[in-house]
């Protein structure tokens, strides 16, 4: 039995019959469904096949320490094919990271997809040396150095997509562990309307970035989409009559018309001294990849007070906590109050797979979470799992946002207290919707699930 999108393709049917020596019974299936099935069920097999070839070569060799020039030149070597397959599969499966982890007897390969690590394959430990060597060559790293961590970069094409790969190598007890961050440049080409903001939050964002000066902070944990939001804002502000300069660690996506600087701590180029130089470049808008210390914070605030629009990020749980963090860094409250224009806290939550989405009546506990609604027959949604979503019930992610516009009342309170709970109450009074409230809205709309709401906040605190 064979599934074909074109049941009248007699050439394909004949080829299959001749190759297998069997009679072929044809079933019709959508082309996209067939491609998805192949991706899910055969991608790891392709990696395994390449790994078997690599293992065979390693075992037949007297030594698995490979000749660098030979490995770099022989395009059909098993290790080359295997790594190309890993890169291609990771992009096709929408992974954000590849983890290659050596253990005593095997290597585990995992992809981070929609925020969660998934095991893709396991290889024999004999494959580790050629695998690490090849990746080091591609990333321009020292193949002889096995005692110290190394960081590098690979730019490659997967199909028609240019992909930027950031390589981190860490020596562990069983060898060198590799994590490769996948920066798909297409992911940063997002308009502000496509970020997933509600109409109210979109209006707030437009108000905040329309200010000619002040600091706009984007906050959230690693992997919450802060870079995408910053690049979207920069694209919105980019025009021929403004000078935009950024300092980033690293530059994740190059924007035409924007002057972008890479931090280089080994050469002495840090956020702080890089920012000082940028302010001598007559900028209108400055983007700082992250405010990491008091020195950077003080320079950023000085820039905002002297007429520049400054964009940056912080690692805090919500918008009001960012004020507390800056004060804890050593910035005077009156400077924070004067300089901050707005704060955007964000998270990414998984979206229900539209192919297997189903409706159900909420449990009593779930109804309690939505207290105040007409919830006797409250209907919620979930994905039951299918081939499209690899039986997870989810496919893709969407951003949720908490936008705090700084008002005169905020500035008065910041000068008196750094209590984030008081700032939160004032912000809600002025129309801020919290991350939990935004996620609840998406749950009711059938975009995500109540389980994803639990990843944002403790349900008992809602």
> Does some domain include residue 1?
no
| Co-location of 61 and 208 in the same domain | no
> Does some domain include residue 426?
yes
> Does some domain include residue 13?
no
**Domain carrying residue 442:** 189-461
Please classify residue 428 by burial: count the beta carbons closer than 10 Å to its beta carbon, then call 0-12 exposed, 13-18 middle and 19+ buried.
middle
Q: Which of 161, 184, 207 is the last residue of a domain?
A: 184
| Co-location of 206 and 234 in the same domain | yes
The confidence score (pLDDT) of residue 157 equals: 87
* CATH number for position 429: 3.40.50.300
* The pairing of beta strand 26-28 with beta strand 161-172: unpaired
| Co-location of 175 and 200 in the same domain | no
| Co-location of 248 and 315 in the same domain | yes
| Co-location of 179 and 202 in the same domain | no
| Co-location of 120 and 202 in the same domain | no
| Co-location of 155 and 193 in the same domain | no
- Which stretches of the chain score pLDDT less than 50? 58-76
| Co-location of 200 and 154 in the same domain | no
> Does some domain include residue 85?
yes
| Co-location of 146 and 251 in the same domain | no
| Co-location of 84 and 222 in the same domain | no
> Does some domain include residue 17?
no
> Does some domain include residue 9?
no
> Does some domain include residue 75?
yes
| Co-location of 170 and 265 in the same domain | no
* CATH number for position 131: 3.30.450.90
Q: Which of 115, 149, 184 is the last residue of a domain?
A: 184
| Co-location of 270 and 383 in the same domain | yes
Domain count, the chain: 2
The confidence score (pLDDT) of residue 372 equals: 56
> Does some domain include residue 3?
no
């Amino acid at each position: 039995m064979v599934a074909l999108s074109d049941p009248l393709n007699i050439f394909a049917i004949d080829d299959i019959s001749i190759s297998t020596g069997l009679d072929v019974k044809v079933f019709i299936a959508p082309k996209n469904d067939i491609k998805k099935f192949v991706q899910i069920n055969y991608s790891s097999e392709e990696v395994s096949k390449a790994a078997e070839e690599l293992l065979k070569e390693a075992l037949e060799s007297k030594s698995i320490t490979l000749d660098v020039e030979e490995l770099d030149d022989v395009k059909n070597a098993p290790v080359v094919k295997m790594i190309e397959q890993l890169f291609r599969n990771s992009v096709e499966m929408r992974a954000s990271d590849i983890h290659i982890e050596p253990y005593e007897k095997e290597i585990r390969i995992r992809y981070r997809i929609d925020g969660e690590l998934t095991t893709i394959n396991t290889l024999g430990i004999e494959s580790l040396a050629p695998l690490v060597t090849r990746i080091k060559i591609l990333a321009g790293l020292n193949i002889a150095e096995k005692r110290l961590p190394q960081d590098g970069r690979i730019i490659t094409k997967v199909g028609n997509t240019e992909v930027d790969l950031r390589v981190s190598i860490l020596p562990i007890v069983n060898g060198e562990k590799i994590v490769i961050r996948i920066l798909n440049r297409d992911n940063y080409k997002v308009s502000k309307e496509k970020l997933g903001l509600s109409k109210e939050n979109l209006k707030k964002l437009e108000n905040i970035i329309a200010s000619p000066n002040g600091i706009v902070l984007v906050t959230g944990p690693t992997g919450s989409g802060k870079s995408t939001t910053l690049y979207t804002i920069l694209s919105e502000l980019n025009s021929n009559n403004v000078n935009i300069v950024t300092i980033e660690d690293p530059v994740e996506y190059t924007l035409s018309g924007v002057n972008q600087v890479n931090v280089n701590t080994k050469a002495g180029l840090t956020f702080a001294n890089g920012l000082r130089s940028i302010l001598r470049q007559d900028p209108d808008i400055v983007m700082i990849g992250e405010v990491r210390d008091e020195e950077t914070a003080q320079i950023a605030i000085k820039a905002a007070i002297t007429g520049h629009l400054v964009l940056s990020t912080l690692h805090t749980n919500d918008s009001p906590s960012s004020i507390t963090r800056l004060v804890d860094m050593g910035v005077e409250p009156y400077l924070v109050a004067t300089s901050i224009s707005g704060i955007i806290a964000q998270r990414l939550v998984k979206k229900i797979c539209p192919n297997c989405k189903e409706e159900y009546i909420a449990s009593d506990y779930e109804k309690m979470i939505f207290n105040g609604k007409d919830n006797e027959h409250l209907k919620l949604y979930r994905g039951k799992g299918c081939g499209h979503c690899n039986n997870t019930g989810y496919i893709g992610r969407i951003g949720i946002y908490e936008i705090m516009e700084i008002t005169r009342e905020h500035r008065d309170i910041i000068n008196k207290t750094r209590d984030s709970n008081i700032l939160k109450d004032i912000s809600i009074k002025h129309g801020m919707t919290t991350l939990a409230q935004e996620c609840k809205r998406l749950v009711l709309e059938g975009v995500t699930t109540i389980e994803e709401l639990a990843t944002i906040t403790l349900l008992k605190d809602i």
